Amino acid sequence: MRGYLVSSISAACAAALVLPLSLTAGAATGTDPEREIPGTTRSLPLEPLGPAATDRSFGSVVQGLPRRDVAPFSLLGLVWEDAAAELEGTVEVRTRSLADGAWSPWQQVETHNADHAADPGTEESAAGRVRGSTAPLWVGPSDGVEVRVKRADGSSHPLPEGLRLDLVDPGDGPGADPAPAAGDRAGGGGGDGEEDGSAPGDAEGDGEEDGSDPGDADGDGTDADGTGTTAGPGTGTAPAPGTVLPALDRSDTEAAAAAGGTLGFDVTAAQPHIGPRPAIVTRKGWGADESLREKTFVYTSTVKAAFVHHSATGNNYTCQQAPSVLRSIYRYHTVSSGWRDIGYNFAIDKCGNIYEGRAGGVARPVLGAHTLGFNTNSTGIAVLGTYSSSNPPQAAVTAVAQLTAWKLGLHGVDPKGSVTLVSGGSGKYAKGAKVTLATIAGHRDGFATDCPGGRLYGQLGTIRTASAALQGR
């Protein structure tokens, strides 16, 4: 289990200190306590702000931080200790660019984030380290920040106690961006492609943890710890070994899945409909610090549906920065929110590059923390960005179709079909409720939320059709 250094900061020094939140040295990770871990998380407790902070366009500010200089960071979010407490209010921030020293306009931070979480009653949800948090917001390299928070109009609920601002520096990545060009995603590629969706030590697929390290037992190009073993496809500049799981054409995908035991159905009784495996940037490829996550993996029985999300981190990133965005979200989910790993099973950037998310093997049914109440027997895919009022790029829409055609196909799932799932308890469906959903659903279908944003949600019909076509249906 990870131990966190929880800093207690008095009001007198709160305005002067920016303290790093770090893992306790060497705590149950087997890592060298002297080894420098890339990336940092720093915390600033919010302060009561008086009438002078009130802005006519914003309203009466209750808490916040006056404009100040800080160590460089690229992503931020608000955190509090009580995971059950809701932040009923508005949070706005502005930041100073490290590149040109210019201050940004005020930007809103999504306050309702509890719907992206482990299911109630699971070990991850019950862990004492889990905290309440807003959605993270990517602001790019910055060295100044200002925050203002107000209660929702008419709300009698106080703000959560112990509000703090967490500033995340993703650190340096593994080198050049390992992501392949979108045109290299479907078809072609090398590697042995052997896949095995079984969970070592969890033959029944009952969701029990497995702390063993089988290496690349499934031959899917990633070790169970997500570090990767297969070199990527040739795209002019070959990625470093282990950074990209290469694409396979459909026939090679089906043959590899059948040979590796990944299929979630009897191939002798049903015609396989598996989309070509797309190229996937591994955790090693985007620079995941494996010391931040839990060492064990948790698997669910199968994959019956895919939930599509937007990360709500904003669209102000380049595709070259996408690995940094992902490292920042990962660090925020683990260090700030207290989750066992990044919540999403996969992520997709605006250029259509696909990334491995939660560790455990991309071909395996890894239990995520992405859709409260419906993480069991599903996979979660986050498109990096915010798509409430902005259209998702076509490359990202295409990548969702390609990924779901492969991932759902491994379990005999029709992307244009429907499935009945049992709710684990959410803000929309009571625990135990049987809910019929599309096999490619939006987060809002399982929880009362805007996610994945109206513009991305409006593309799900197109995604289902394209995904089914890739499966040969």
Report the C-alpha gap between 322 and 329 in whole angstroms. 11
The pLDDT tens digits of the residues spanning 240-262 come to 778 999 999 988 888 877 776 66
Q: Is the alpha carbon torsion for 423, 429, 435, 436 positive or negative?
A: negative
pLDDT at 17 over 80: no
Residue 267 to residues 201, 275, 393, Cα–Cα distance (Å): 24, 15, 36
What is the helix (H) or strand (E) element at residue 75, kind and residue range? strand 63-80
252 contacts 193 by C-beta, under 8 angstroms: yes
Residue matched to tokens 């395996």: 364
pLDDT at 18: 38
The C-alpha atoms of residue 145 and residue 349 are separated, in whole angstroms, by: 26
Report the pLDDT value the prediction gives residue 62, as an integer from 0 to 100. Answer: 85
> Which pLDDT score is estimated for 169?
97
pLDDT at residue 202, as a whole number: 39
> pLDDT tens, 351-380?
999 999 999 999 999 999 998 889 999 999
With a pLDDT cut of 70, the percent of the chain lying above it is 71
pLDDT tens digits along 190-225:
333 333 333 333 333 334 444 434 344 344 444 444
Distances (CA, A) of 94 to 97, 333, 369: 10, 22, 29
- The predicted pLDDT at position 103 comes to 98
CA 272 to mean position of chain CA atoms: 29
Contact 407, 439 (CB under 8 A): no
In 3D space, the residue among 326, 334, 329, 322 whose CA is nearest the CA of residue 291 turns out to be: 334
pLDDT for residue 308: 98
- Between CA 196 and CA 256 the distance in angstroms is 9
Q: Which residue has the tokens 């917001």?
A: 137
Assess contact for 87 and 80: CB atoms under 8 A: yes
pLDDT (mean) for 33-41: 60
Beta bridge partners of 167: 42, 76
Q: How far apart are the C-alpha atoms of 197 and 201, rounded to whole Å?
A: 12
CA dist 247 and 455 (Å) reads 28
**Which pair of structure tokens corresponds to residue 404?**
């779901």
Q: At what angle do helices 460-470 and 394-409 cross, to 10 degrees?
A: 50
User: Chain centroid to CA 304: how far?
Assistant: 19
- For 253, phi then psi, to 5°, come to -65, -45
Residue 75 has pLDDT above 50, yes or no: yes
Residue range 86-138, pLDDT digits in tens = 899 999 999 999 999 999 999 999 987 666 666 666 777 666 688 999 999 99
112 backbone φψ class: left, alpha, beta (φ>0; ψ -120 to 50): beta
Q: Cα–Cα–Cα angle for 120, 29, 203, nearest 5°?
A: 55
Q: Which residue has the tokens 């066992």?
A: 340
**What does the alpha-carbon distance between residue 274 and residue 390 come to, in Å, rounded to a whole number?**
31
Instruction: Scan for tokens 């720093």, then name that residue.
Output: 42
* pLDDT the model gives residue 289: 95
On average, the pLDDT of the chain sits at 79
